[in-house]
Amino acid sequence: MEHGMAERIVERAFSPDRLAESSGPISVDLAVFTLVGRELSVLLTERTEPPYPGFWALPGRLRRPGISLDAQARAQQTAVTGIEGGWIEQLKTFHRPQQVDGGGHVVVPGRDPRGDVLSVAYIAIVPTALAESCSERTGEGEQQWHPVRRLPVEMAFDHREIVDYAVRRLRSKVGYSSIGFQLLPSEFTITELQQVYEAVLGLSINRGNFWRRVVDRGVIEPTGKERRVRGKRAILFRFTQQAFGLREEPDGFIEA
């Protein structure tokens, strides 16, 4: 194929009209997690405007032109949590356009009744000590932490699906990475650390096995400080930034 012909084909394929036809709105949604008490919880906002007024939803906004999705997600994270530089990671793109049959009846509802809107979802973490201040922040609607085991039966859009996927992703990551330490202060007890992992994973962990994984492997180290917990002295530890995973592999097994 001659060079000039190839250029003309590219121009037709990527003309402004064709680009406009193929483009659509994008929502940037955040699944923000923390521990409230000993329960893994997600931050939800109560919608005040259509669609879904009065329903709980993930914090999110339609994409702003001229800014990257990652930058917007980071800005939204700061706005809803009040924390600068917290941990955040892109989760997944969710897309479900409305489908109709030959008679014009909706057989598959779209994820957004306003139109064919993509959702680029992000997962973020708030340290447990800062959770209360997040729920006290006010924006377009009330913000509350909801335990993932007791989510609202119906949520706005497909946000229940997004939360469920984010929980599975978080549990997977906590099994093979050190992400669990993001939920803790810089100094913590071994019991507090174990409680974090048990809350996220939703299971009990054998204390002896856990101790060997984090202490004997040098994942945490004593700070030389102590704290009184229930009248007893407890040694304070800190994370050593060493690579860590409770499971040997992402799909491995934690012995309870």
**Residues present in the chain in total:** 256
Q: Where in the chain are all domains bearing CATH 1.10.10.10?
A: 179-239
pLDDT tens, per residue, the chain with 256 residues: 556 665 555 555 556 666 556 568 999 999 999 999 889 999 999 999 999 999 999 999 999 999 999 999 999 999 999 988 889 999 999 998 877 777 777 656 778 888 889 999 999 999 998 888 887 766 667 899 999 999 998 999 999 999 999 999 999 998 888 899 999 999 999 999 999 999 999 888 888 888 888 888 888 999 999 988 877 899 999 999 877 777 644 443 344 3
Q: Which residues pair with 127 in a beta bridge?
A: none
* Distance, first Cα to last Cα, the chain: 64
Q: Which residue has the tokens 């030959």?
A: 102
Q: Where in the chain are all domains bearing CATH 3.90.79.10?
A: 3-176
Q: State how beta strands 26-36 and 118-125 pair.
A: parallel
The CATH H-level (homologous superfamily) assignment of domain 3-176 is: Nucleoside Triphosphate Pyrophosphohydrolase (3.90.79.10)
Class of domain 179-239: mainly alpha
pTM score of the predicted model: 0.84
